[in-house]
Structure 1
Amino acid sequence: MTHCHLSFVCGKKWDDLAATPEASARYCNDCGKNVFKIKTEAQLSVATALRRCVAIADDNDFISAIGESTFEWLEPGYLHDVLVGTAHPLSAPRADLLRRFFPMIFDAGPNERTLNDGGLVKIENVGPAAREILLCELASLAPELNVATKEV
Protein backbone atom coordinates (compact mmCIF):
# COMPACT_ATOMS: atom_id res chain seq x y z
CA MET A 1 0.00 0.00 0.00
CA THR A 2 1.46 3.35 -0.98
CA HIS A 3 0.53 7.03 -0.80
CA CYS A 4 -2.04 6.64 1.98
CA HIS A 5 -2.04 9.42 4.54
CA LEU A 6 -4.84 9.62 7.06
CA SER A 7 -5.29 13.29 7.86
CA PHE A 8 -8.33 12.87 10.07
CA VAL A 9 -10.16 10.00 11.74
CA CYS A 10 -13.87 10.58 12.25
CA GLY A 11 -15.98 8.76 14.81
CA LYS A 12 -19.12 8.66 12.67
CA LYS A 13 -20.57 5.30 11.69
CA TRP A 14 -21.52 4.42 8.10
CA ASP A 15 -25.15 3.86 9.10
CA ASP A 16 -25.33 7.37 10.59
CA LEU A 17 -24.56 9.00 7.22
CA ALA A 18 -27.24 10.01 4.70
CA ALA A 19 -27.77 7.77 1.67
CA THR A 20 -26.78 9.05 -1.79
CA PRO A 21 -27.73 7.81 -5.26
CA GLU A 22 -24.44 5.86 -5.27
CA ALA A 23 -24.54 2.75 -3.07
CA SER A 24 -20.83 3.10 -2.28
CA ALA A 25 -21.16 6.68 -0.99
CA ARG A 26 -22.94 8.33 1.92
CA TYR A 27 -23.20 12.03 2.76
CA CYS A 28 -22.00 13.59 6.01
CA ASN A 29 -24.18 16.53 7.02
CA ASP A 30 -21.56 17.75 9.51
CA CYS A 31 -18.67 18.21 7.07
CA GLY A 32 -20.68 18.47 3.84
CA LYS A 33 -18.72 15.72 2.07
CA ASN A 34 -19.43 12.32 0.61
CA VAL A 35 -17.81 9.37 2.36
CA PHE A 36 -16.94 6.35 0.20
CA LYS A 37 -17.00 2.76 1.50
CA ILE A 38 -13.91 0.92 0.35
CA LYS A 39 -12.81 -2.68 0.67
CA THR A 40 -9.94 -3.06 -1.81
CA GLU A 41 -6.53 -1.47 -2.14
CA ALA A 42 -7.52 -0.22 -5.61
CA GLN A 43 -10.55 1.59 -4.14
CA LEU A 44 -8.26 3.09 -1.50
CA SER A 45 -5.89 4.26 -4.23
CA VAL A 46 -8.74 5.99 -6.07
CA ALA A 47 -9.97 7.61 -2.86
CA THR A 48 -6.47 8.80 -2.00
CA ALA A 49 -5.89 10.20 -5.50
CA LEU A 50 -9.20 12.08 -5.36
CA ARG A 51 -8.78 13.18 -1.72
CA ARG A 52 -12.01 11.48 -0.71
CA CYS A 53 -13.21 10.70 2.78
CA VAL A 54 -13.46 6.94 3.27
CA ALA A 55 -15.08 4.33 5.44
CA ILE A 56 -13.15 1.07 5.44
CA ALA A 57 -15.47 -1.91 5.08
CA ASP A 58 -15.31 -4.54 7.80
CA ASP A 59 -14.70 -7.21 5.14
CA ASN A 60 -11.83 -5.34 3.45
CA ASP A 61 -9.07 -7.26 1.73
CA PHE A 62 -6.10 -4.99 2.37
CA ILE A 63 -5.62 -4.39 6.09
CA SER A 64 -3.83 -7.75 6.47
CA ALA A 65 -1.64 -6.93 3.46
CA ILE A 66 -0.17 -3.72 4.88
CA GLY A 67 3.58 -3.97 4.69
CA GLU A 68 3.53 -6.49 1.86
CA SER A 69 4.43 -5.36 -1.64
CA THR A 70 5.37 -6.92 -4.95
CA PHE A 71 6.83 -3.62 -6.18
CA GLU A 72 4.84 -3.87 -9.43
CA TRP A 73 4.55 -0.10 -9.38
CA LEU A 74 8.27 0.09 -10.19
CA GLU A 75 7.75 -1.56 -13.57
CA PRO A 76 7.69 0.83 -16.58
CA GLY A 77 4.15 1.42 -17.81
CA TYR A 78 2.54 0.24 -14.59
CA LEU A 79 1.47 3.69 -13.42
CA HIS A 80 -0.51 6.18 -15.46
CA ASP A 81 -1.67 9.73 -15.01
CA VAL A 82 -5.38 10.29 -15.62
CA LEU A 83 -6.06 13.57 -17.41
CA VAL A 84 -9.48 15.18 -17.04
CA GLY A 85 -10.84 18.08 -19.08
CA THR A 86 -14.08 19.54 -20.33
CA ALA A 87 -15.09 21.30 -23.53
CA HIS A 88 -17.33 23.75 -21.66
CA PRO A 89 -17.33 25.10 -18.10
CA LEU A 90 -19.85 23.29 -15.94
CA SER A 91 -22.77 25.04 -14.30
CA ALA A 92 -22.39 25.92 -10.62
CA PRO A 93 -25.00 23.35 -9.48
CA ARG A 94 -23.32 20.60 -11.52
CA ALA A 95 -19.87 21.52 -10.17
CA ASP A 96 -21.30 21.50 -6.62
CA LEU A 97 -22.57 17.96 -7.14
CA LEU A 98 -19.31 16.73 -8.68
CA ARG A 99 -17.31 18.18 -5.77
CA ARG A 100 -18.90 15.51 -3.58
CA PHE A 101 -17.66 12.69 -5.81
CA PHE A 102 -14.39 14.11 -7.17
CA PRO A 103 -13.05 16.59 -4.58
CA MET A 104 -9.55 16.62 -6.03
CA ILE A 105 -10.80 17.66 -9.49
CA PHE A 106 -13.63 19.92 -8.34
CA ASP A 107 -11.79 21.62 -5.50
CA ALA A 108 -13.41 25.10 -5.76
CA GLY A 109 -9.84 26.24 -6.31
CA PRO A 110 -6.95 25.92 -8.76
CA ASN A 111 -7.87 22.54 -10.27
CA GLU A 112 -11.45 23.59 -10.92
CA ARG A 113 -10.28 26.91 -12.45
CA THR A 114 -7.88 25.01 -14.72
CA LEU A 115 -10.73 22.76 -15.82
CA ASN A 116 -13.10 25.67 -16.46
CA ASP A 117 -10.38 27.50 -18.43
CA GLY A 118 -10.12 24.55 -20.80
CA GLY A 119 -7.03 22.99 -19.21
CA LEU A 120 -6.45 19.49 -17.96
CA VAL A 121 -6.42 18.33 -14.35
CA LYS A 122 -3.94 15.51 -13.73
CA ILE A 123 -4.52 12.69 -11.26
CA GLU A 124 -1.02 11.28 -10.89
CA ASN A 125 0.45 7.80 -10.58
CA VAL A 126 -2.64 5.62 -10.77
CA GLY A 127 -2.14 1.85 -10.92
CA PRO A 128 -4.13 -0.39 -13.28
CA ALA A 129 -6.89 -1.56 -10.92
CA ALA A 130 -7.42 1.95 -9.50
CA ARG A 131 -7.35 3.40 -13.02
CA GLU A 132 -10.13 1.04 -14.12
CA ILE A 133 -12.31 2.02 -11.14
CA LEU A 134 -11.61 5.72 -11.66
CA LEU A 135 -12.38 5.64 -15.39
CA CYS A 136 -15.67 3.79 -14.74
CA GLU A 137 -16.69 6.30 -12.04
CA LEU A 138 -15.85 9.27 -14.25
CA ALA A 139 -17.78 7.77 -17.18
CA SER A 140 -20.89 7.04 -15.11
CA LEU A 141 -20.96 10.05 -12.75
CA ALA A 142 -19.41 12.75 -14.96
CA PRO A 143 -19.95 11.79 -18.61
CA GLU A 144 -19.49 15.41 -19.70
CA LEU A 145 -15.79 15.22 -18.83
CA ASN A 146 -13.12 14.21 -21.31
CA VAL A 147 -10.74 11.64 -19.86
CA ALA A 148 -7.43 10.29 -21.11
CA THR A 149 -4.53 8.37 -19.61
CA LYS A 150 -0.79 8.86 -20.04
CA GLU A 151 1.91 6.37 -19.12
CA VAL A 152 4.22 7.67 -16.40
Structure 2
Amino acid sequence: MLPDSRDLHSFRSTDWTTQYQNVLESTLLWTKAVIPGMIDRKFGRIVHVVSDSARIGVPKMSIYETMKAAVSSFSRSLAQELARYNITCNCVSIGVQEIDEVKGSSTEAVFKLDKTLKLAPLRRYSEPEELGVMMACLASELGAYVTGQTISVSGGLVMT
Protein backbone atom coordinates (compact mmCIF):
# COMPACT_ATOMS: atom_id res chain seq x y z
CA MET A 1 0.00 0.00 0.00
CA LEU A 2 1.34 3.41 -0.97
CA PRO A 3 1.44 6.04 1.77
CA ASP A 4 -1.03 8.89 1.56
CA SER A 5 1.03 11.72 0.11
CA ARG A 6 -0.58 15.14 0.53
CA ASP A 7 0.17 18.44 2.17
CA LEU A 8 -0.43 18.28 5.92
CA HIS A 9 -3.13 20.98 5.84
CA SER A 10 -5.29 18.82 3.55
CA PHE A 11 -5.43 15.87 5.98
CA ARG A 12 -8.57 15.30 8.02
CA SER A 13 -8.35 13.65 11.43
CA THR A 14 -9.78 10.46 9.92
CA ASP A 15 -6.85 10.38 7.45
CA TRP A 16 -4.43 10.66 10.36
CA THR A 17 -6.23 7.80 12.12
CA THR A 18 -6.04 5.62 9.01
CA GLN A 19 -2.28 6.19 8.70
CA TYR A 20 -1.89 5.44 12.42
CA GLN A 21 -3.82 2.17 12.09
CA ASN A 22 -2.08 1.02 8.89
CA VAL A 23 1.48 1.83 9.92
CA LEU A 24 1.90 2.16 13.68
CA GLU A 25 -0.97 0.37 15.41
CA SER A 26 -0.59 -2.77 13.27
CA THR A 27 3.11 -2.92 14.19
CA LEU A 28 2.38 -2.42 17.89
CA LEU A 29 -0.24 -5.18 17.86
CA TRP A 30 1.76 -7.89 16.07
CA THR A 31 4.84 -7.10 18.14
CA LYS A 32 2.86 -7.30 21.38
CA ALA A 33 1.46 -10.66 20.27
CA VAL A 34 4.86 -12.31 19.68
CA ILE A 35 6.70 -11.07 22.78
CA PRO A 36 5.24 -13.45 25.43
CA GLY A 37 6.40 -16.57 23.54
CA MET A 38 9.84 -15.07 23.02
CA ILE A 39 10.13 -14.27 26.72
CA ASP A 40 9.10 -17.86 27.59
CA ARG A 41 11.79 -19.22 25.24
CA LYS A 42 14.35 -16.63 26.37
CA PHE A 43 15.05 -15.99 22.69
CA GLY A 44 13.63 -13.83 19.98
CA ARG A 45 14.29 -11.61 17.01
CA ILE A 46 12.00 -8.74 16.09
CA VAL A 47 12.59 -6.93 12.81
CA HIS A 48 10.39 -3.97 11.91
CA VAL A 49 10.23 -2.42 8.45
CA VAL A 50 10.55 1.36 8.27
CA SER A 51 11.30 3.87 5.55
CA ASP A 52 14.29 6.06 4.78
CA SER A 53 11.84 8.85 3.99
CA ALA A 54 11.23 9.13 7.75
CA ARG A 55 14.94 9.79 8.25
CA ILE A 56 15.47 12.35 5.49
CA GLY A 57 12.13 14.15 5.16
CA VAL A 58 10.12 14.11 1.95
CA PRO A 59 7.49 16.72 1.05
CA LYS A 60 3.87 15.59 1.40
CA MET A 61 4.84 12.54 3.45
CA SER A 62 4.72 14.05 6.96
CA ILE A 63 2.00 11.80 8.39
CA TYR A 64 3.48 8.58 6.99
CA GLU A 65 6.98 9.60 8.05
CA THR A 66 5.77 10.43 11.55
CA MET A 67 4.31 6.93 11.90
CA LYS A 68 7.43 5.21 10.53
CA ALA A 69 9.67 7.31 12.82
CA ALA A 70 7.48 6.19 15.72
CA VAL A 71 8.06 2.55 14.72
CA SER A 72 11.84 3.15 14.84
CA SER A 73 11.58 4.74 18.27
CA PHE A 74 9.34 1.91 19.48
CA SER A 75 11.91 -0.60 18.24
CA ARG A 76 14.77 1.09 20.09
CA SER A 77 12.75 1.16 23.31
CA LEU A 78 11.92 -2.53 22.94
CA ALA A 79 15.59 -3.35 22.33
CA GLN A 80 16.34 -1.91 25.78
CA GLU A 81 13.34 -3.55 27.41
CA LEU A 82 13.75 -7.05 25.96
CA ALA A 83 17.53 -7.52 25.87
CA ARG A 84 17.50 -9.27 29.25
CA TYR A 85 15.41 -12.04 27.64
CA ASN A 86 17.87 -12.52 24.77
CA ILE A 87 15.47 -10.78 22.41
CA THR A 88 16.82 -8.34 19.85
CA CYS A 89 14.78 -5.69 18.12
CA ASN A 90 15.89 -3.85 14.99
CA CYS A 91 14.54 -2.05 11.95
CA VAL A 92 15.31 -2.46 8.28
CA SER A 93 14.81 0.86 6.56
CA ILE A 94 13.79 0.67 2.93
CA GLY A 95 15.16 3.22 0.50
CA VAL A 96 14.29 3.33 -3.19
CA GLN A 97 12.24 0.32 -4.20
CA GLU A 98 10.29 -0.10 -7.41
CA ILE A 99 6.91 -1.55 -6.60
CA ASP A 100 3.98 -2.32 -8.87
CA GLU A 101 1.75 0.22 -7.10
CA VAL A 102 4.12 3.03 -8.07
CA LYS A 103 4.58 1.82 -11.63
CA GLY A 104 0.81 1.89 -12.10
CA SER A 105 0.20 5.19 -10.31
CA SER A 106 0.34 8.82 -11.32
CA THR A 107 3.07 10.34 -13.43
CA GLU A 108 3.94 12.55 -10.44
CA ALA A 109 4.61 9.52 -8.22
CA VAL A 110 6.81 7.90 -10.85
CA PHE A 111 8.68 11.20 -11.38
CA LYS A 112 9.30 11.53 -7.62
CA LEU A 113 10.63 7.98 -7.47
CA ASP A 114 12.97 8.55 -10.42
CA LYS A 115 14.18 11.81 -8.88
CA THR A 116 14.90 10.06 -5.57
CA LEU A 117 16.67 7.23 -7.37
CA LYS A 118 19.17 9.72 -8.79
CA LEU A 119 20.15 10.71 -5.23
CA ALA A 120 21.22 7.16 -4.31
CA PRO A 121 24.91 6.57 -5.13
CA LEU A 122 24.19 3.09 -6.52
CA ARG A 123 21.51 4.61 -8.79
CA ARG A 124 19.23 1.61 -8.90
CA TYR A 125 16.24 0.21 -7.10
CA SER A 126 16.71 -2.27 -4.30
CA GLU A 127 15.75 -5.83 -5.06
CA PRO A 128 13.38 -7.65 -2.69
CA GLU A 129 16.10 -10.25 -2.09
CA GLU A 130 18.47 -7.55 -0.81
CA LEU A 131 15.95 -6.49 1.80
CA GLY A 132 15.23 -10.12 2.65
CA VAL A 133 18.90 -10.95 3.22
CA MET A 134 19.24 -8.12 5.73
CA MET A 135 16.06 -9.13 7.51
CA ALA A 136 17.10 -12.79 7.57
CA CYS A 137 20.49 -11.89 9.01
CA LEU A 138 18.92 -9.82 11.80
CA ALA A 139 16.41 -12.59 12.51
CA SER A 140 19.09 -15.29 12.77
CA GLU A 141 21.88 -16.12 15.21
CA LEU A 142 24.14 -13.97 13.02
CA GLY A 143 22.25 -10.96 14.37
CA ALA A 144 22.67 -11.96 18.01
CA TYR A 145 24.76 -8.90 18.93
CA VAL A 146 22.80 -6.34 16.92
CA THR A 147 19.92 -4.64 18.69
CA GLY A 148 18.28 -1.24 18.71
CA GLN A 149 19.53 -0.43 15.21
CA THR A 150 17.89 0.94 12.10
CA ILE A 151 19.77 -0.37 9.09
CA SER A 152 19.18 1.31 5.76
CA VAL A 153 19.07 -0.84 2.63
CA SER A 154 19.04 2.08 0.25
CA GLY A 155 21.95 1.99 -2.16
CA GLY A 156 23.54 4.76 -0.13
CA LEU A 157 20.53 7.11 -0.16
CA VAL A 158 20.84 7.35 3.63
CA MET A 159 24.27 6.97 5.19
CA THR A 160 24.91 6.94 8.92
TM-score scaled by structure 1? 0.28
Normalising to structure 2: TM-score of the pair? 0.27
The structure with the larger Rg is 2
- From the two aligned structures, give the one with the greater strand fraction: 1
More helix by share: 2
